[in-house]
Amino acid sequence: MSERIGVYPGTFDPITNGHIDIIRRATVLFDRVVVAVTTNPAKRPLFDVAERVAMVEACVRGIPGVEVDSFDGLLVEYAKRIGATAVIRGLRAVSDFEFEFQMALVNRKLNPDLVIVFLMPNEKYTYLNSTIVKEVAQFGGNISCFVPEVVERKLKERFGKP
């Protein structure tokens, strides 16, 4: 049986506890989970790709079968290059579904062999996203329950908060 590789793409600006929950869930389904940090022309990230990769690496260290990479371009091409057979996407709420469903159909059209797997995080993370975390951090709010300590430190440094 060949190795089952799933790719979990995202901007991860920054990675949250919700993302990490999805990563842990994905390790049950795949031999290898590649967390693929990407650029998104529609977004203006707070952290550059190298900073985001470093944060993700620090957060997933110790989770067996997980590796971190970065890419730019089409996801289907990247997945093919690394031998992934599936794309992992998190769904927090019904509001995520329409966009994710549309992207899944486009990716299926581009590569019919690529399976899209939707995973739901623990309900305590269903409201959580990177934008909310950045906004709370920018105003000095407590984000320790939203992100790992390394990410909390980086956000405080970036926003000049103690």
Annotated active-site residue 156? The verdict is no
CATH H superfamily, domain 5-126: HUPs (3.40.50.620)
Is 130 a known active-site residue?
Answer: yes
Express each pLDDT in 66-75 by its tens digit: 999 999 999 9
Catalytic option among 92, 108, 156, 158: 92
Instruction: Go through 6-27 and write b for each residue having 16 or more CB atoms within 10 A of its CB, e for each that does not.
Output: bbbbbbbbbbbbbbbbbbbbbb
> DSSP label at 16?
-
Domain residue spans of the chain = 5-126
User: What pLDDT digit, counting tens, does each position of 3-48 carry?
Assistant: 999 999 999 999 999 999 999 999 999 999 999 999 888 889 999 9
pLDDT band at 96 (very low <50, low <70, confident <90, very high): confident
Q: Which of 32, 52, 89, 130 is catalytic?
A: 130
- Active-site annotation holds for 44: no
Q: Annotated catalytic residue: which of 19, 32, 89, 154?
A: 19
Residue-wise DSSP of 56-70: HHHHHTT-TTEEEEE
The whole model's pTM is what?
Answer: 0.95
What digits encode the pLDDT tens for the residues 140-159?
999 999 999 999 999 999 99
Phi, psi of 119 (to 5 degrees): -120, 140
Residue 92: active-site member: yes
Catalytic residue among 43, 81, 124, 161: 43
Beta-bridge mates of residue 36: 9, 69
